[in-house]
């Protein structure tokens, strides 16, 4: 049914439990995978203990979370890793690093070291050394642990942060070199110690020239010509609301130095990219961190600024407590500009901004406006 993808009555563009037994969890918003996988890992462990109590052997299962580097800017990912490190559950997290390049791979030596660090021998020796180290006097053990951490950072690169959170860090590995990647994946699959974070470096659109040249435009695509890469988008017969908003906000900032714009990794989808070209020093893209975006705006507002927070309607749901507690209850002048409100067609239920009227109209001090045309939108920005 792949030819029905993102069409009416067709397959969802995201994993959906009701659609396939191979979709283990509904996904679309970022940073949720580690939390969900940890829940699955703990459920597996509980099942295993129950089976042992009944004299049965539980089937070995792996809980694997894949998360993009952009999603690692969201706090939920760290909340999950913090919990996973404390629970010591056998969990595999694959960090797909295709933009920020947290730590670039350094060729064959990097691949070899990753393979070595993920292997059973290295892990067993390290675990044994940890247990033996605990028999040492406390001061000596702490010095030995510090020395081991320093030596490990020289070997595995920038994974110390993940190690401090209780993960065994492996990488970076070239995600396009299967001779490097597959042995490492097999090692982390067979490892008895958890949790493990495998850092894989990839290039978005790898192997397809149009996507390599413009990865952002191929994040979510409609039908396109495979040879040229040209997407078959219908020509609009009126100015897009997003552009009208962006241009109106530029005029507002031209007239008032206190106007600033904030977005959460969606400048092009909200019109903030236009504003950013005109007022780069007043534009803040905080990454995929909606909760921070809202409270950050609240802080700006306390100092007399007029922040416009441009976020997709469905993504603001992730920051509802901040809207209530840090803006509405304090009656701070923050303007939320919700793009993609209502039903959004091909993106499906997870991206439909169907609840914003219900969850915003009930808040104190909140004025909610919905533009019926472009002219009203211009006036609303001014208001």
How many C-beta atoms surround the C-beta of residue 232 within 10 A?
A: 9
Name which of 228, 182, 233 is nearest 208 in CA terms: 228
Q: Is 3 a catalytic residue?
A: no
Residues in the chain: 383
CA distance 242 to 344: 14
In the set 152, 203, 204, 258, the catalytic residue is 204
CA distance 351 to 318: 12
Q: Which two tokens stand for residue 258?
A: 């206190």
Per DSSP, the three-state class of 310 is: strand
In the set 290, 306, 335, 340, the catalytic residue is 290
Q: Which two tokens stand for residue 65?
A: 């979370």
Q: To which H or E segment does residue 274 belong?
A: helix 272-278
Q: Is 318 a catalytic residue?
A: yes
Q: What are φ and ψ of residue 242, in 5° steps?
A: -60, -45
In the set 115, 318, 335, 340, the catalytic residue is 318
Name which of 266, 274, 267 is nearest 248 in CA terms: 274
Q: Is 79 a catalytic residue?
A: no
Catalytic site positions: 204, 290, 318
């Amino acid at each position: 049914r792949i030819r029905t993808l993102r069409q009416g009555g067709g397959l969802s563009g995201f994993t959906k439990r009701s659609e396939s037994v191979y979709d283990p969890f509904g996904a679309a918003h970022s940073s949720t995978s580690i939390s969900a996988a940890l829940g699955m890992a703990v459920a597996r462990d509980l099942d295993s203990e129950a089976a042992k109590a009944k004299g049965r052997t539980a089937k070995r299962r792996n809980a694997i979370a894949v998360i993009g580097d952009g999603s690692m800017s969201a706090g939920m990912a760290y909340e999950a890793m913090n919990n996973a490190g404390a629970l010591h559950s056998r969990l595999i997290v694959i960090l797909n690093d295709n933009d920020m390049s947290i730590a670039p791979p350094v060729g064959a030596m990097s691949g070899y070291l990753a393979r070595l660090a993920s292997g059973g021998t290295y892990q067993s020796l390290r675990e044994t050394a940890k247990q033996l180290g605990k028999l040492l006097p406390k001061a000596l053990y702490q010095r030995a642990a510090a020395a081991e951490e320093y030596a490990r950072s020289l070997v595995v690169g920038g994974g110390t942060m993940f190690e401090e959170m209780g993960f065994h860090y492996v990488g970076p590995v070239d995600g396009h070199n299967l001779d490097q990647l597959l042995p490492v994946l097999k090692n982390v699959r067979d490892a008895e110690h958890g949790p493990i974070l495998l850092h894989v470096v990839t290039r978005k659109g790898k192997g397809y020239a149009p996507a390599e040249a413009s990865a952002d435009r191929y994040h979510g695509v409609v039908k396109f010509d495979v040879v040229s890469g040209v997407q078959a988008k219908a020509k609009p017969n009126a100015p897009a609301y997003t552009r009208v908003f962006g241009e109106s906000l530029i005029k507002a900032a031209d007239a008032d130095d206190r106007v600033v714009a904030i977005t959460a990794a969606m400048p092009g989808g909200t019109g903030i990219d236009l504003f950013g070209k005109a007022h780069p020093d007043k534009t803040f893209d905080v990454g995929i961190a909606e909760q921070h975006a809202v409270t950050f705006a609240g802080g700006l507002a306390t100092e007399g600024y007029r922040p416009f927070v441009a976020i997709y309607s469905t993504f603001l749901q992730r920051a509802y407590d901040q809207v209530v507690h840090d803006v509405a209850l304090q009656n701070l002048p923050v303007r939320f500009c919700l793009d993609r409100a209502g039903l959004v067609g091909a993106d499906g239920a997870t991206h439909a901004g169907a609840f914003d009227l219900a969850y915003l109209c009930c808040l104190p001090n909140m004025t909610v406006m919905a533009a019926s045309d472009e002219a009203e939108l211009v006036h609303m920005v001014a208001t």
